[in-house]
Amino acid sequence: MITKGNEIRLIKPMGVFDHIGEVCEVTDISEDGVISFKFGGCHLGCMSYNEFEKYFELVEKEAPEKEINEDTNSMTENKEVYELIEWCKENDKPFYLKLYLNVLEKRNSITQSILGMYKNRLCLVQFKNKTFKDSDFSGLKIML
């Protein structure tokens, strides 16, 4: 299924648009099915879904393969995440991966407490009256 933001590749000449292999970005799909796209940096085009099927193919994005590296730092981070989730559960506080990553990025050294910094951030207005049930664990992978 084609959606806004997908990349498509020209596989067959389409009038004066004959750069076979050119990758275009879908910028919009209207309610009546008109697909708008940009190509060549500054050019725009539109077509029906039938034209898309005839002249283009959807570019599949390959997910980069990540090596599983169990070095000391990753094990320390896994332990910190686990301890933070346990603290959130025990104190009925929400866990948000984005907030954790933000705190991790701002930490100056390994001696600073992730838990202390995370607790401090939970005082912000957007986290008031949130409980552990409001937590977002999507995207979180922990190796145990």
Half-sphere exposure of 133 (CA within 13 A, CB side): 1
- This prediction's pTM: 0.43
Class of domain 7-58: mainly beta
Residues in contact with 104: Cβ distance below 8 Å, sequence separation at least 6, in sequence order: 77, 114
pLDDT one digit per residue (tens) for the chain, 144 residues: 788 889 999 999 888 888 888 899 999 988 888 999 998 777 888 999 899 999 999 988 775 555 544 444 454 567 778 888 888 888 888 888 888 888 877 776 665 777 788 888 888 777 778 888 877 777 776 554
| Beta-bridge mates of residue 67 | none
Calculate the alpha carbon distances from 14 to 22, 66, 67, 72 in Å: 12, 38, 42, 55
